[in-house]
Chain A
């Protein structure tokens, strides 16, 4: 199984599309967007705690990709490159939000918006999912990004390290801390079951 989306047999791979994009090929750009948009929106929505914000940042990520296609060097890590752009955008936004919060604490209070579950679900399940999504959104970005990529997006740790620009050991320790914080935060819902990994 592959991430983010399996492609048809004759479709050009990401590297070939990036080479064409560097020459200004808009069709190649459209193909790249179509191939990666859902996974990127999902990741950024989880990272920001807002689907709309996630979609907006995903669009911005693709724009940055277009503008920087000339400087892209193919090493077989296109997805990590794209997600790094997205993560950096969230990081910049978090920095701006912190500054804004210092200036106007009451006006800019963060309102984590849980992703709405689709389809009929039991009320309790929905409540727990909402709490969990909010707790994830409230984690510091340094812990949130690896947690989302590993536990939700199902990425291997090595690739997460590449996307976030850190060592694999750092990813492991951040995952551990993120899980510990979530357990602590959500203990009233699940008690102390599940142990600590």
Chain B
């Protein structure tokens, strides 16, 4: 069990019930085995080893399998990428694409020209305006062209508005 300070507590009571009342010579023998301790200068020797082989540490054979695996995975990914690249249909060169692009531009130009001609024709038509009257300040005008362009509105049944 880990305590708040990060150290391990001894076995829990629940754990111990399993081995409680140990008249078992095996378990008693195991617990009586002498405990070892680190030798004199242990910490200093760790630092010596650390300083002695900083480069060798990076090439430690125990870690090599992991590096090999990573390298193999990277190579496999590169090979797969190259394969996908080689199988994908190559885009046609620019010279081959030019006629198609020219055709599209010409079609768009024709469409715009037709639209412009239609606008000019409409502009030249007499404006269907009726002067209804007015004074110095206001002119009342009925524009039939404007009415024609308005969408027909839904009629509101007047019966529903009666009090």
Contacts and interface: CB of A to CB of B under 8 A. Distances in A.
Contacts of B49: 59-60, 63
Contact of B7 (A14, A33, A92, A195): A14
B2 A76 contact: yes
Given A151-B19, A152-B33, A190-B25, A3 B50 contact: no
Given A129-B29, A155-B11, A59 B42 contact: yes
Contacts of A58: 38, 42
| Contact residues of A: prevailing secondary structure | helix
A133 interface: yes
Contacts of B10: 1-3, 154, 156
B23 A66 contact: no
Contacts of A151: 19, 27, 30-31
Interface string B1-21: 111011111111001001100
Interface in B82-114: none
B162 interface: no
A55 B7 contact: no
A83 B42 CA distance: 17
Q: How large is the interface on A (under 10, 10 to 19, 20 to 34, 35 or more residues)?
A: 35 or more
Most buried by B among A26, A79, A179, A194: A194
Contacts of B39: 41, 55
A42 B26 contact: no
Contacts of A7: 5, 7
Given A117-B34, A194-B24, A76 B47 contact: no
Given A54-B36, A78-B6, A136 B30 contact: yes
A115 B37 CA distance: 11
Nearest to A129: B33
Contacts of A128: 29
B36 to A, nearest CB: 4
Contacts of B27: 151, 179, 194, 197
A197 B42 contact: no
